[in-house]
Amino acid sequence: MSYKTAILGATGAVGAEFLKILQQRNFPLASLKLLASSRSEGKKIAFGGEELTVEEVTEKSFDDVDLVLSSAGGSISEKFAPIAVKAGCVVVDNTSAYRMDPSVPLVVPEVNPEDIKTHKGIIANPNCSTIIMNVPVWPLHKVNPIRRIVVSTYQAASGAGAAAMDELAEGARAFLEGREFTPTVLPHPAAFNVFSHNSDVGPDGYNLEETKMVHETQKIFHAPEMLITATCVRVPVMRAHSEAINLQFTNPITEDEVREILSSAAGVRIVDDRERSYFPMPLDATDKDDILVGRIRSDISQPDGCGIEMFVSGDQIRKGAALNAVQIAEML
């Protein structure tokens, strides 16, 4: 079988990654349609030895399509995903539009692939930070149920799109040259700086990124009772997010047990060399499928032996977005 596929948001950072991954994984394409806003209509993009022309997305764009990989913003997905489903497509949506819709499965293939079967035309791709945390945490939770997660993220400019990555590069040049620089994509200068994630802060003091990590993980794990708290910040890294994760298990667990579980876990690679002080880094995670996991150690603040600390890095554009969606499509 091969599938008539469309990429909605084809000219963005995730859209470009979709194209790369579809080719690398030899996805069974009968045809490929590139869709974007009117601003990108007519743009030529190379794929598989030929040039494809970007089309403006309209209500008629999905009439001859089986599968839609969508990453064009929540409002676009809210408008066009139901139209695509009505036309007979399955939509794998990378925006936040449908993630918490109880009728839409929210899927990380290494965690809850069985949920794909419940779809009614739309399958949601989780937030990038959620995916990067869930891949290494889930195999541990299966063995020894986790009661509480405390996570702090170090999120790259890539999470805010290609324009933010360009802004980080230009801001760094301006800083080193002593020039004034005013950001227009991110709310604060990203170069040589760290600031709270650029999403709205709610009345409880949590920003939207932090809230996503909490509620999405509870939904994916089918564990509404799980206690989760998050602090999400931007760091001057071009690509790949990192996270410091503190876990409280139901029963005591050792470092060696954690390493043994993760050594055979899908989508995980252990990078934990204490002698060389070599642990997960964004540069090593960039353009890689696996989530890198290291700094695995017992939490000395939990004397009952139920606490574990670890540090992870994962490519936000790849596994945190495009690859996860393509894996869902492969399972379909």
Instruction: Point out the catalytic residue in the list 89, 128, 232, 306.
Output: 128
Which residues are CB-neighbours of 52 under 8 A, at least 6 positions away? 32, 34, 44, 45, 46
What's the confidence (pLDDT) of residue 1? 84
Chain Cα centroid distance, residue 154: 13
**pLDDT over 90 at 245, yes or no:** yes
Active site annotation includes 128? yes
**pLDDT over 90 at 162, yes or no:** no
CA distance 196 to 189: 12
Per-residue b or e along 275-310, where b marks 16 or more CB atoms closer than 10 Å to that residue's CB: eeeebbbbebbbebbbbbbbebebbeebeeebbbbb
* CATH superfamily name and code, 3-126+321-331: NAD(P)-binding Rossmann-like Domain (3.40.50.720)
CA distance 278 to 250: 30
Provide the pLDDT confidence category of residue 205 given band limits of 50, 70 and 90.
very high
CA distance 22 to 4: 13
Domain 130-316 indexed as CATH 3.30.360.10:
yes
* Whether 316 contacts 239, CB under 8 Å: yes
Taking alpha carbons only, the member of 19, 64, 17, 61 closest to residue 36 is 61
In degrees and rounded to multiples of 5, residue 153 shows phi and psi of -105, 150
* Whether 308 contacts 258, CB under 8 Å: yes
**pLDDT over 90 at 250, yes or no:** yes
Provide the pLDDT confidence category of residue 209 given band limits of 50, 70 and 90.
very high
Instruction: Point out the catalytic residue in the list 89, 232, 241, 306.
Output: 241
Q: What is the pLDDT of residues 280-300, one digit of tens each?
A: 999 999 999 999 999 999 999
Taking alpha carbons only, the member of 234, 218, 257, 259 closest to residue 133 is 218
Q: What is the pLDDT of residues 55-108, one digit of tens each?
A: 999 999 999 999 999 998 889 999 999 999 999 999 999 999 999 999 999 999
Q: What is the pLDDT of residues 3-56, one digit of tens each?
A: 999 999 999 889 999 999 999 999 999 999 999 999 999 999 999 889 999 999
CA distance 230 to 139: 20
DSSP letters for 60-114: TTTTT-SEEEE-S-HHHHHHHHHHHHHTT-EEEE-SSSSTT-TTS-B--TTT-GG
Provide the pLDDT confidence category of residue 221 given band limits of 50, 70 and 90.
very high
Active site annotation includes 89? no
Residue 265's alpha-carbon distances to 106, 117, 270, in angstroms, are 20, 23, 10
What's the confidence (pLDDT) of residue 134? 98
Overall size of the chain counted in residues = 332
Q: Domain limits of the chain?
A: 3-126+321-331, 130-316
Q: What is the pTM of this model?
A: 0.95
On the question of a common fold for 3-126+321-331 and 130-316, the answer reads no
Taking alpha carbons only, the member of 279, 270, 242 closest to residue 152 is 242
What's the confidence (pLDDT) of residue 161? 86
